[in-house]
Amino acid sequence: MDGSERRAPYYRSVGREREVFRTAARERLPVLLKGPTGCGKSRLVEAMAHELGRPLVTVACNDETSAADLLGRYLVRGAETVWQDGPATRAVRSGAILYLDELAEAREDVLVVLHPLADHRRELFLDRRDEQISAADGFQLVASFNPGYRRGPKDLKPSTRQRFVAIALGYPEAEAEIEIVSTETGVERGVAKRLVSLASKIRSLTEAGLTETASTRLLVAAARLIGAGVPPRVACRAAIVEPLTDDHATARALGDLCDLGF
């Protein structure tokens, strides 16, 4: 889990996101990454953890994650009761980057526990141990958030949002995305170009009723199948069309786009 021990992860910038992230880290300001599925939010965090030379602790937020899951708990081991730090506590003590993936999915009690960690106090209170921890140097709170769906009940509260410097990410420009697809999968540039062109057509289909559109992740999967010998049209249906929709008419329309491309 120590980002610095791995080789630098592949991440291609789409704007000034690295500069803002780097400065926020220096200024001890929490960072919120906003963007759609598969646009590279987690990759950016991995890349920054590598650049800043800090360990990375990732927590996939969800409705069942309790404050105890983040902070830690007492475990009964035979006749002994031992305290086990949770991931947030570990990150705070060790000065790691604490990455809360899909923060809006977390329950409110989790968010509220993080508030004193996300302002000038930089403190975490372990109520079960009655212990207050100040964040070690280098600790940084990072969260991701997908504003595209989950409107309403699962929106982040202003009192949470306004604790973060927020960076909006989108899908990369065509040139950058072609580079990503071919670098990641080894397919020849021509195939990558056709996939990116197909994605661009799908992304412009605002009337197709898709909850989200084709992410870079899908293009990479299609390129992998093609590189391994699956006919491109079959690969695009399996890796792009079927993951995007269950509606027969929409699937047929997207399939036609695939056939046009290959």
Residue whose CB is less far from a copy of itself, 196 or 225 = 225
In whole angstroms, how close is the CB of 27 to a copy of itself at the nearest point?
A: 5
Residue 125 φ then ψ, to 5°: -110, 120
In whole angstroms, how close is the CB of 97 to a copy of itself at the nearest point?
A: 16
Residue whose CB is less far from a copy of itself, 178 or 244 = 244
Residue whose CB is less far from a copy of itself, 173 or 212 = 212
In whole angstroms, how close is the CB of 89 to a copy of itself at the nearest point?
A: 11
CA-to-CA distance for 119 and 142, rounded, in angstroms? 13
CA-to-CA distance for 196 and 181, rounded, in angstroms? 8
Strand partners, 124: 133
Residue whose CB is less far from a copy of itself, 38 or 172 = 38
Residue whose CB is less far from a copy of itself, 205 or 230 = 230
**CB 70, CB 86: distance < 8 Å:** yes
In whole angstroms, how close is the CB of 197 to a copy of itself at the nearest point?
A: 19
Q: SS3 of 30, please?
A: coil
In whole angstroms, how close is the CB of 103 to a copy of itself at the nearest point?
A: 12
In whole angstroms, how close is the CB of 106 to a copy of itself at the nearest point?
A: 10
DSSP string, 139-178: -EEEEEE-TTS--STTSPPHHHHTTSEEEE--PPPHHHHH
Residue whose CB is less far from a copy of itself, 105 or 177 = 105
CA-to-CA distance for 236 and 145, rounded, in angstroms? 28
Cβ-based neighbours of 78, under 8 Å, separated by 6 or more: none
